[in-house]
Structure 1
Amino acid sequence: MESGDKRYYSIREVADMFDVNISRLRYYEKEFPTLSPKKNRSGDRVYTKTDIDHLREILDLVENRGFKLQGAREYLNKKQGTLNETAAVLDKLREIKQFMTTLRDGLGSEGGNGQEVKANSKQ
């Protein structure tokens, strides 16, 4: 990939990066709904670095690892589901951490040594 600070790449640039036909990129857009480059005002596709990374993963699955298109779609969907589950767990853990921090700070501000809370919690 080019080493510039370029934000958007034309479909021709991306095709040249991967040494594939433009028609193949368009075909993969239809076969993989997660690959959806934006279009500029004139209607030309523009790929971001994220789109290019996703396309690289698709090409790796299909060309190097021997996946059929359906198998590659299922693999990517499962991977995305796992990422979503992980993100949900992390969000919950952050909430718990925030609650615990608030609880700890509240105990410290009462000026007690925590024994009062232990006595009350046993009731």
Structure 2
Amino acid sequence: MAYKEKEIEKLYYSIGEVAEIFNVAPSLIRFWETEFDVIKPKKNRKGNRQFTREDIDNVRTIYHLVKEKGFTLQGAKEMLRNDNQSVRDKMELLDSLKNVRNFLVELREKLH
């Protein structure tokens, strides 16, 4: 039986890492932090932001609403206020479907 290393997941991510995940500027993440109260990164002694997995999920939701769906900031705020769980469920479903699609595309490429 082969030994399989556990993948180590980070507890905290820097603002640069979060910005890179979404391919946006760190200034946009800082701006969203001031606009949306669901993004609350911890700050270390130096004042550097430390984003948790939950913070990244909140940024993902805001990114989806604003950048992909075209909501205004006010519209995104209202959507989060009124039906945050529904938005998250839809996003999880979209992520799952994207993973399935990527898997099928890779499988098709291996067969040809």
TM-score normalized by structure 1?
0.61
Which residue in 2 is equivalent to 1:51?
Answer: 55
Q: Which amino acid aligns with 2:62?
A: I
**Structure 1 residue ranges, 4+ long, deviating more than 6 angstroms after superposition:** none
1:60 alignment partner, one of 61, 64, 70:
64
In the TM superposition, what whole-angstrom CA distance separates every residue of 1:39-95 from its partner, at most 9, and x where no partner exists?
A: 11211000000000110000000011111000000000112599xxxxxxxxxxxxx
Measured on the aligned residues, the alpha-carbon RMSD in Å equals 1.7
The percentage of counterpart residues that share the same residue type is 47
In the alignment, the residues of structure 2 paired with residue 4 and residue 14 of structure 1 have an alpha-carbon distance, to the nearest angstrom, of 17
2:76 alignment partner, one of 66, 69, 72:
72
> How many aligned positions are there?
80
Question: Which consecutive residues of structure 1, in runs of 5 or more, have no partner in the other structure?
Answer: 83-123
Query: Does the 8 A contact of 2:12 with 2:53 survive in 1?
Result: yes
Which residue in 1 is equivalent to 2:32?
Answer: 28
SS of the aligned residue for 2:50 comes to strand
In the alignment, the residues of structure 2 paired with residue 15 and residue 4 of structure 1 have an alpha-carbon distance, to the nearest angstrom, of 21
1:42 aligns with 2:51: no
In the alignment, the residues of structure 2 paired with residue 44 and residue 52 of structure 1 have an alpha-carbon distance, to the nearest angstrom, of 16
Which residue in 1 is equivalent to 2:94?
Answer: none
Question: Which consecutive residues of structure 2, in runs of 5 or more, have no partner in the other structure?
Answer: 1-6, 87-112
Change in CA separation of 1:81 and 1:11 when aligned onto 2, cut-off 3 Å: closer
Greater mean deviation of Cα atoms: 72-81 or 38-47: 72-81
Change in CA separation of 1:22 and 1:79 when aligned onto 2, cut-off 3 Å: same
In the alignment, the residues of structure 1 paired with residue 64 and residue 8 of structure 2 have an alpha-carbon distance, to the nearest angstrom, of 24
TM-score normalized by structure 2?
0.66
Alpha-carbon offset, residue 4 of structure 1: 3.5
In the TM superposition, what whole-angstrom CA distance separates every residue of 1:102-122 from its partner, at most 9, and x where no partner exists?
A: xxxxxxxxxxxxxxxxxxxxx
